[in-house]
Amino acid sequence: MSRIHPTAIVDAQAELAADVQVGPYAVVGPHVRIGSGSSIGPHCVVEGHTSIGSENRIWQFCSIGAAPQDKKYAGEPTHLSIGDRNTIREFCTFNCGTVQDSGCTRVGDDNWIMAYVHLAHDVQLGSQCILANNATLAGHVQVGDWVIVGGLTGVHQFVKIGAHAMAGFQTALSQDVPPFMMVDGNPAKAHGFNVEGLRRRGFGPERIAQIKQMHRLLYRNGLTFEEAKAQIGDLRGQVEGGDLDVELMSGFLSASTRGIVR
Per-position DSSP letters for 92-135, written without gaps between them: -EEE---TTTTSEEEE-SS-EE-TT-EE-TT-EE-SS-EE-TT-
Burial status of residue 83 (CB atoms within 10 A of its CB: 0-12, 13-18, 19 or more): buried
Q: Any catalytic annotation for residue 184?
A: no
Q: Are 145 and 158 in contact (CB under 8 A)?
A: no
Longest dimension (CA), the chain: 65
Report how far residue 122's alpha carbon sits from residue 140's, in angstroms, rounded to the nearest whole number.
Answer: 5
Report how far residue 51's alpha carbon sits from residue 34's, in angstroms, rounded to the nearest whole number.
Answer: 6
Which one-letter DSSP state was computed for residue 10? E
> Of 70, 101, 122, 145, which is the active-site residue?
122
Q: Any catalytic annotation for residue 139?
A: yes
Cβ partners under 8 Å of residue 250, min gap 6: 229, 232, 233
Beta bridge partners of residue 136, listed in sequence order:
118, 154
Report how far residue 219's alpha carbon sits from residue 214's, in angstroms, rounded to the nearest whole number.
Answer: 9
> Of 48, 108, 139, 154, which is the active-site residue?
139
| Pick from 121, 176, 104: nearest CA to 147 | 176
CB atoms within 10 A of CB 74: 8
| Pick from 183, 99, 85: nearest CA to 139 | 99
> Of 79, 121, 164, 215, which is the active-site residue?
121
Q: Among all residues, which ones are annotated catalytic?
A: 121-122, 139
